[in-house]
Structure 1
Amino acid sequence: MTPFALRLKSPLTKQPITILQVNLGKRCNLACTHCHVEASPLRTEEMSDRIVDRVIQLIHTFPQIHTVDLTGGAPELLNGFKPILAAAVATGKQAIVRSNLTIYFVPGYADIPAYCAQNKARIVASLPCYLADNVDKMRGKGTFDASIKALQWLNRLGYGSDPNLQIDLVYNPPIPTSTDFRLTPDRIALERDYKAFLKADFDICFNQLLPITNLPIGRTKFQLEHHQLYQPYLQFLESHHNPETVSHLMCRNQLSIDYLGNIYDCDFNQMANLPSLTPTGELLTIDRLLAAGTLDAIGKVQTQDYCYGCTAGSGSSCGGALV
């Protein structure tokens, strides 16, 4: 393989930071087979009160942030979820909540849908397929039915119909078990199929479908290695590298913060333990950003060969296709 950094015509540099993605921890009520975070009910990692306060300080200090993206684990389960979301709303930023939907039925969390609606949070919800069998294989038995009930709940609150209440769904392809690798399907056609099926069978509406490529990190990597497909899958992604995606990569205008307050270029680098560096090679933390008085302290994005997953075909990011 050609290393990803060498495939680029110039270094992958940071642009002004506008998106703050906050990973509140790794505890989740599910343990999905494709989870790059390796989240599960057995994980205990979550953000401390001190780091929550520092994240809130960051949100209030830098008006250049226009989006605060909350993820996990299941972010709704984790310490800091409501205070950080409230800080984003209070400062006029868009709040994104990345939800597995089933969390609403865990005792103690039934208030989350209404809370998100009251704060006009955009919900990005995982529904890796519109067929029950495929979803349950990836996310656990009964997950599809719970997700459908959650989407109907959100629709009753106005999500999908009120222009201020956006609900987007995330599609993930099945993890390959043979060398019959495929890129994510055409977004427009797949979104049309999702909308037609969910409307006809469950009277569900949503705004957008976000197809996201499975990057070979976390449980996806383990499963690929189990089938001896890790290197062939990387080579497949490299062979479909699309240079037009590079200028749109999410890592360029985003910071990813982990539950300890460390800074990364993106959530994938965070899970691969590849931290952001200053131009002088220092590791970045939320405390150092606040002390420096700038979010734009990174010169070059840290890359690895799994980055080909974000540039293959139409590209992939936390916001779906790039081109």
Structure 2
Amino acid sequence: MQTKQINQLDKFITPFKHKLSSSLTKKEITVLQINLGKRCNLACTHCHVEASPRRTEELSPEICQQLIKVIHRFPEIKIVDLTGGAPEMNYGFKPLVEAAKLTGKQVIVRSNLTIYFEDQFGDLPEYCAKHQVRIVASLPCYLADNVDKMRGTGVFDSSVKALQWLNQLGYGKEPNLILDLVYNPQLPTGEKFSLAPEQTNLERDYKMFLQEHFNIVFNNLFTITNLPVGRTQMYLERRKLYASYLQFLESNFNHSTVEYLMCRDELSIDYLGNVYDCDFNQMMNLPAKTHNGEPLTVTKLLEAGSLDLINEIQTAAYCYGCTAGCGSSCGGALL
């Protein structure tokens, strides 16, 4: 059904691969991004994972052990990036953190911050500080009304308390305790679309506002475009804005971003052990393919003893979201 839908878009926009001068290929794989599952204490309106408290899908002990083997076996992996749902709620979070740190890799956890105030998760800030986990925290605006509109009533206040807690532990202050924030644009209400503001200037505004009003400090702000995937796609479709939003993204295509796309040097793994070129392909069930055209899995990586099994990165219409303007990635703007 998704493939049919993607093909139907060809009448509205240029197929993404036709924008490229050559096939999109992998560089050396240095990032292993793992989606531990769809369990989350929030149900944000823009969530491309469609996570919520009602979701139960999560990593199994078997796949967790396979991923630990991958982390140990491949020294070229420099970063283990844990996401969800709320990654901290799903099985395997702490074993994967500890395996990655044991092998000298940087660990990133993509946190919604409010998880710290849920039962059984109050130890997370101290745990992350102990293991020097880099925290990339969602704060789609520095104004309370906008955050609560996207993420739920009271989320802004909880996020502020969590950030102050992290600051008290040294996050945002000590060199080994990195705290980054993520900005997402508000979802459009009509066809007056816009890309994220310039990242450097917006970071300055965030830092000034949060310091002045809450005495909060952090390291970097990442601006991330809302890709038309998951709940963002459903939102756009309900308002009959889906095709026009894709046309807007295509009209802002910037070929200079292609060299730096996050899919070039990462593998995205789901809770079932399937491998994708990026998190968005994962959510749209567009698996990475081996040299033989077969869907790639963690089992096949281990059997081959290699991460270099992908001939060509799988692309789709929503790839225009990562290549519009200054580009977009899990690490923010590309240019």
| TM-score range for the pair, normalised by the shorter chain length | over 0.9
1:212 aligns with 2:224: yes
Work out the CA distance in 2 between the residues paired with 1:16 and 1:290. 17
1:44 aligns with 2:56: yes
1:94 aligns with 2:106: yes
Which of 128, 136, 142 is 1:116 aligned to?
128
Which residue of structure 2 aligns with residue 138 of structure 1?
150
Which residue of structure 2 aligns with residue 158 of structure 1?
170
Which residue of structure 2 aligns with residue 262 of structure 1?
274
Q: 1:84: how far off?
A: 0.2
Counterpart of 1:185 in structure 2: which amino acid?
P
Structure 1 segments (4+ residues) deviating >6 Å: none
Which residue of structure 1 aligns with residue 208 of structure 2?
196
Work out the CA distance in 2 between the residues paired with 1:205 and 1:296. 39
Which residue of structure 2 aligns with residue 56 of structure 1?
68
Deviations 1:169-197 (A, max 9, x none): 00000111101100110001100110000
1:310-321 maps to which residues of 2 (within 5 A)?
310-321=322-333
Q: 1:138: how far off?
A: 0.2
Work out the CA distance in 1 between the residues paired with 2:25 and 2:87. 29
Which residue of structure 1 aligns with residue 196 of structure 2?
184
1:78 aligns with 2:90: yes
Q: 1:299: how far off?
A: 1.0
Number of aligned residue pairs: 323
Counterpart of 2:269 in structure 1: which amino acid?
I
Work out the CA distance in 2 between the residues paired with 1:313 and 1:97. 27
Which of 297, 301, 304 is 1:289 aligned to?
301
Q: SS of 2:289's equivalent?
A: coil
Per the normalisation by structure 1, the TM-score is 1.00
Identity %: 66
1:303 aligns with 2:315: yes
Work out the CA distance in 1 between the residues paired with 2:332 and 2:155. 22
Q: SS of 2:235's equivalent?
A: helix
Long gaps (5+) in structure 1 = none
Per the normalisation by structure 2, the TM-score is 0.96
Q: 1:280: how far off?
A: 1.4
Q: SS of 1:113's equivalent?
A: helix
Which residue of structure 2 aligns with residue 237 of structure 1?
249
Work out the CA distance in 2 between the residues paired with 1:153 and 1:64. 34
Work out the CA distance in 2 between the residues paired with 1:299 and 1:250. 16
Work out the CA distance in 1 between the residues paired with 2:75 and 2:215. 39
Work out the CA distance in 1 between the residues paired with 2:238 and 2:195. 21
Work out the CA distance in 1 between the residues paired with 2:205 and 2:259. 29
Work out the CA distance in 1 between the residues paired with 2:199 and 2:275. 31
Which residue of structure 1 aligns with residue 20 of structure 2?
8
Which residue of structure 2 aligns with residue 32 of structure 1?
44
Q: SS of 1:201's equivalent?
A: helix
1:103 aligns with 2:110: no
Q: SS of 2:41's equivalent?
A: coil
Which of 148, 151, 168 is 2:160 aligned to?
148
Work out the CA distance in 1 between the residues paired with 2:125 and 2:312. 38
Q: SS of 1:79's equivalent?
A: coil
Q: 1:212: how far off?
A: 0.2
Which of 222, 226, 234 is 2:238 aligned to?
226
Q: 1:300: how far off?
A: 0.5
Q: 1:108: how far off?
A: 0.5
Which residue of structure 1 aligns with residue 10 of structure 2?
none
Which residue of structure 2 aligns with residue 278 of structure 1?
290
Q: 1:235: how far off?
A: 0.3
Q: 1:55: how far off?
A: 0.4
1:126 aligns with 2:138: yes
RMSD: 0.4
Deviations 1:11-37 (A, max 9, x none): 001111100000000000000000000
Work out the CA distance in 2 between the residues paired with 1:300 and 1:17. 14
Long gaps (5+) in structure 2 = 1-12
